[in-house]
Amino acid sequence: MSQPTPATGPAAALELRDVAKAFGAVVALRSGSLRVEAGSIHALVGENGAGKSTLVKIVAGVHRRDAGELLLDGRSMDFGSTAESKAEGIAVIYQEPTLFPDLSVTENIFMGRQPVGAGRRIDRAAMHTEAEQLFRRLGVHIDPRRPALGLSIADQQIIEIAKAISLDARVLIMDEPTAALSGVEVERLFAVARSLRDEGRALVFISHRFDEVFDLCDTITVMRDGSYVDAVRTADTDVDSIVAMMVGREVGDLFPKTPAEIGETVLKVEGLSSTGEFHDVSFEVRAGEIVGLAGLVGAGRSEIARAVFGVDRYDAGSVTLAGRSVKPHDPRSAIRAGMAFVPEDRRKQGLVTESSVARNISGVIRGGLARAGLLTGAAESRSAAPWAGRLEVKTGALDMNAATMSGGNQQKVVIAKWLATNPRLLIIDEPTRGIDVGTKAEVHRLLSELAGQGMAILMISSELPEVLGMADRVLVVCEGRITADIPRDEATPENVMRAATRSSQEAAS
Ligand SMILES: Nc1ncnc2c1ncn2[C@@H]1O[C@H](COP(=O)(O)OP(=O)(O)OP(=O)(O)O)[C@@H](O)[C@H]1O
Ligand SMILES: [Mg+2]
């Protein structure tokens, strides 16, 4: 049996005891407890919907708790706003970036606390310089003067990280900060996190990637169904024990790739170019084949996918689906031709969040249903239910508003929504971003099965093990070009990474 609360001792930097929070009939937190020492990095893990983000939002002053205690250095706190939490030295990187699109990158970082120069004028130059220094520390190149609008999810996340670091907080909470980042960015972030720990700050790190948890964190708190399960030292445990505590059941293997019969060419992309994004991109995806698009964040993988599907324009080249040419910049014709696209930014492009889960899942096929005179609430629920069940979408009911679902559950709804269209080609950008370990295995099994039934799948993933585990062929993108086409049995982390960094190295030499 686990203890009801973590062991108590001298005051911790941050402590929550038996915190509860309900939203109407939905109990998000039953008994959340967490104890984080100064000078340590503490992981908070649990399945999708376990209550991690809710706990974070209570510390951040976004939500007010219904019961329980919140202590900072032993002092009891009750935050009525995010400003009050910030004033106590708490910085939070939220799971979903919350930037203001029309403001510049710098303005987003220094929101509400612009440095004032001589004559009490806001010193813009000083702000830009400080933003540049933060980016240098994180090892990224983002123009601080550009607007936040149009930045990739990864860049948005990096700006959130820069913003949190610039607050010089005593407690830094990171809710899945790495979900959109790839290896190099993650390493930079971890280096910064470790240096903050060594300065005596307390850090909380939420992630579904266990390799990161074990690499970075000193201690781990496990949550299940809104409650604290146990807190353990990383050195005294292993992934299997953590997973067992999280899910309380057996989890299937990740990457259960089964061989599928490779058939006709489904997608043919020829000479696709878009100025400043990618150049002369040609490749094919066949029926039954899973093609992985690997590369560093910013290499142009998502841009290529978006152009193929028609969300973005391209300047030259062509896209053919099952022998018929697909009109450029026309997602509707792409859908009609049999394409489905699960985008990386589920909030902006993937999910009609204000609407119910059932509507979100059946939304794409609604046109067809309506034409057949079948559009009823019952029909919607029927088309949604099998997919929602298969992906273990955890909601009170299918008529729940998708906006209030946990991050991972929203991702599952987006996938379900597109699978319900029964496409010939599925383009899926970061299929398991934010999805917990149990469902991740399920998503992988599903992709493998769909390929087995003859679907062509183009999968973008920043998780190298996922690409190597699932893809029949790996296309590596580097600075907007395809630099390698590696068959499954020859693909290794080394040759993929080499191709992913090739042209910049060549340019440097
Ligand atoms: N504002 C809200 N209104 C209603 N229900 C909510 C709200 N916020 C969270 N919930 C519910 O509370 C539960 C816990 O959600 P939470 O976001 O804390 O999970 P999580 O552990 O962060 O999951 P994930 O790993 O998917 O991000 C979920 O069932 C979610 O649907
Ligand atoms: Mg969450």
Give the residue, 164 or 231, on which the prediction is more confident.
Answer: 231
- The pLDDT of 447-457, averaged and rounded, is 93
- The answer to whether the CB of 95 is under 6 A from ligand 1 is yes
Question: How confident is the model over 150-166, as pLDDT tens digits?
Answer: 887 778 888 888 888 88
For residues 268 and 366, give the distance between their C-alpha atoms in angstroms, rounded to a whole number: 28
Ligand 1 mutation target, pool 23, 31, 406, most atoms within 8 A of CB = 406
Which H or E run includes 487?
A: strand 481-487
At 505 the pLDDT is 46
pLDDT at 65: 97
Ligand 1, atom 19, residue with closest C-alpha:
49
pLDDT tens, residue by residue, 257-277: 888 899 999 999 999 999 989
- Cβ–ligand 1 distance for 20 under 6 Å, the answer no
Q: What is the pLDDT of residue 206?
A: 96
Q: Measured in angstroms, how far is the CA atom of residue 92 from the centroid of ligand 2? A: 13
pLDDT band at 243 (very low <50, low <70, confident <90, very high): confident
Taking CA atoms, 298 is separated from 93, 111, 141, in Å, by 21, 26, 11
* Phi, psi dihedral angles at 195 (to 5 degrees): -70, -35
How many Cβ atoms sit within 10 Å of the Cβ of residue 404? Answer: 15
Predicted confidence band of residue 178 (pLDDT cuts 50, 70, 90):
confident
The whole-number pLDDT of residue 213 equals 95
Which residue lies with its CA nearest to atom 18 of ligand 1? 51
Say which DSSP state 104 is in: B
Answer whether 32 contacts ligand 1 (Cβ < 6 A). Answer: no
pLDDT bracket for residue 240 (50, 70, 90):
confident
Structural domains in the chain plus CATH codes:
14-99+151-247 (3.40.50.300), 265-338+423-508 (3.40.50.300)
CA distance 428 to 471: 12
The pLDDT score that the predictor gives to residue 398 is 54
Q: Whose CA is nearest to atom 29 of ligand 1?
A: 49
Residue 433 clears pLDDT 60, i.e. is over it: yes
Per-residue model confidence (pLDDT) at position 297:
76
Most confident of 184-198, 201-215, 246-260: 201-215
Top mutation candidate among 347, 394, 404 for ligand 1, by most atoms within 8 Å of CB: 404
Ligand 1 neighbourhood includes 144 CB (under 6 angstroms): no
Q: Which atom of ligand 1 is nearest to the CA of 26?
A: 5
pLDDT of the residue at 256: 73
Atom 31 of ligand 1, residue of closest alpha carbon: 405
Four-residue CA torsion sign, 388, 390, 396, 402? negative
CA distances from 267 to 73, 281, 317 (A): 58, 13, 13
Secondary structure of the chain: what % helix, strand, coil (to 5)?
A: 40, 25, 35
Whole-angstrom Cα distance, residue 359 to residue 407?
A: 18
Query: Looking at residue 43, what is its pLDDT?
Result: 98
The DSSP line for 282-330 is EEEEETT-EEEEE--TTSSHHHHHHHHHTSS--SEEEEEETTEEPPTT-
At residue 156, the pLDDT reads 86
Q: Which residue has the higher pLDDT, 59 or 154?
A: 59
Is residue 14 very low, low, confident or very high in pLDDT (cuts 50, 70, 90)?
A: very high
The least confident of 1-5, 237-241, 275-279, 489-493 is 1-5
pLDDT tens digits along 327-353:
998 888 888 889 988 887 665 554 444
Residue ID of nearest Cα to ligand 1 atom 16? 51
404 lines ligand 1 (CB under 6 A): yes
Closest CA to 28 of 48, 43, 44: 48
Across the range 192-200, mean pLDDT stands at 91
Q: Which residue has the higher pLDDT, 8 or 111?
A: 111
Cα 87 to Cα 108: distance, rounded to the nearest angstrom: 18
Sheet containing strand 481-487, strands side by side? 339-342, 425-429, 456-460, 290-294, 473-478, 481-487
Residue in 415, 403, 419, 420 with CA at minimum distance from that of residue 440: 415
pLDDT at 504 over 90: no
Q: Which ligand is nearest to the CA of 404?
A: 1
Burial 341-367 (b: 16+ CB within 10 A, else e): bbbbbbeeebbebeebbbbbbbbbbbe
Mean pLDDT calculated for residue range 160-177: 89
DSSP 350: I
Percent of the chain with pLDDT strictly greater than 90 = 47
Atom of ligand 1 nearest to the CA of 51: 18
CB–CB of 248/436 below 8 Å? no
Q: How far is CA 330 from CA 305, 337, 424, in A?
A: 13, 11, 17
Are the CB atoms for 187 and 11 separated by under 8 Å?
A: no
